[in-house]
Each structure stands twice: as structure tokens, then as C-alpha cells.
């Protein structure tokens, strides 16, 4: 039976992010589809940021702007900003450039991608733990 998701439920945002992270792990292991990996990792960070913001009482806004979401967390005094700020800056650059033609593509740097993936996973686990602690 299908389960209805709720865009105002931080747990649903994290469930989607967790599924995406699992797929990114496999793609990174095989070094497949670097553009997909980069843009999807930015999307995963967006989902994690939205989950944390909603948990903190933020009213969902339809945006893909990672820097704006990081600023929203900063405005709420989140201790995650130090980790999120460099990720949001780096991934914001590839979010659209790696999804559509018309931009210069860089050679894949799987080492850097794996580092970013590990950092995003770390933030994911912290947000997930906070949600579990508050329920």
C-alpha cells in the first residue's frame, strides 16, 4: 500500500536523502556518472537542510538555493553551519552546471567527491540523530 509523504515532515525529507545517499555510494564506488553524482549530492544536501530547518520550525519554502538554506540555519543559530557552509558553497556551483548543457564540465575528481559525500553523510547522521532524540 502506498504511503503518503508530507513535505512538512522532516522525517520524509531524510528518508528521501537516505535513499539518495545509498545510490550515490554505489555510483562513487564504481566511479560512474560524475555529473549525476555531483548534482545529486547537492540535492541531498538540500533535503537534509530542509529537514533540519523544518525541525526547527521553518516554514517550507520552495527553493534549491543551498546558500539561502545555510543562511536560514545560521539565522537560527544552528551549530551545523560550520560544516554546512563550505559544502553549500561548493555544491551550489555544480547543482545546475552539472545537470544541463551550456557549462564547462570539469574532469571528475572522485577523491574530492568522496570527501564531500562523507561530509554530507556526517551532517545527515547528525540531523537524523536530532530527530530521533526529539521524538
CA distance 45 to 24: 12
Contacts of 134 (CB under 8 A, 6+ apart): 55
Q: How many domains does the chain have?
A: 1
**In a domain? residue 104:** yes
pTM of the model: 0.91
The predicted structure's pLDDT at residue 94: 74
Q: How many helices (H) and strands (E) does the chain have?
A: 5, 0
Domain that holds residue 66: 10-134
Position with higher pLDDT, 107 vs 48:
48
CA distance 76 to 42: 22
**In a domain? residue 55:** yes
The predicted structure's pLDDT at residue 95: 66
Cβ atoms of 124 and 21 closer than 8 Å: yes
**In a domain? residue 4:** no
**In a domain? residue 91:** yes
If you average pLDDT over residues 40-64, what whole number do you get?
96
The predicted structure's pLDDT at residue 87: 95
What CATH number has the domain bearing residue 14?
1.20.120.330
pLDDT band, very low/low/confident/very high, at 32 (cuts 50, 70, 90) = very high
pLDDT, tens digit, 9 for 90 and up, residues 55-102: 999 999 999 999 999 999 999 999 999 999 999 999 987 766 556 666
Could you give the angle at which helices 34-55 and 81-97 cross, rounded to 10 degrees? 140
Amino acid at each position: 500500500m502506498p504511503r503518503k509523504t508530507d513535505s512538512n515532515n522532516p522525517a520524509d525529507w531524510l528518508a528521501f536523502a537516505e535513499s539518495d545517499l545509498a545510490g550515490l555510494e554505489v555510483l562513487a564506488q564504481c566511479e560512474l556518472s560524475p555529473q549525476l553524482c555531483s548534482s545529486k549530492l547537492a540535492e541531498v544536501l538540500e533535503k537534509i537542510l530542509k529537514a533540519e530547518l523544518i525541525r526547527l520550525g521553518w516554514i517550507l519554502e520552495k527553493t534549491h538555493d543551498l546558500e539561502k538554506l545555510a543562511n536560514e540555519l545560521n539565522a537560527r543559530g544552528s551549530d551545523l553551519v560550520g560544516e554546512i557552509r563550505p559544502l553549500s558553497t561548493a555544491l551550489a556551483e555544480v547543482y545546475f552546471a552539472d545537470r544541463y548543457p551550456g557549462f564547462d564540465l570539469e574532469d571528475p575528481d572522485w577523491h574530492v567527491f568522496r570527501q564531500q559525500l562523507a561530509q554530507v553523510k556526517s551532517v545527515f547522521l547528525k540531523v537524523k540523530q536530532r530527530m530521533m532524540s526529539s521524538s
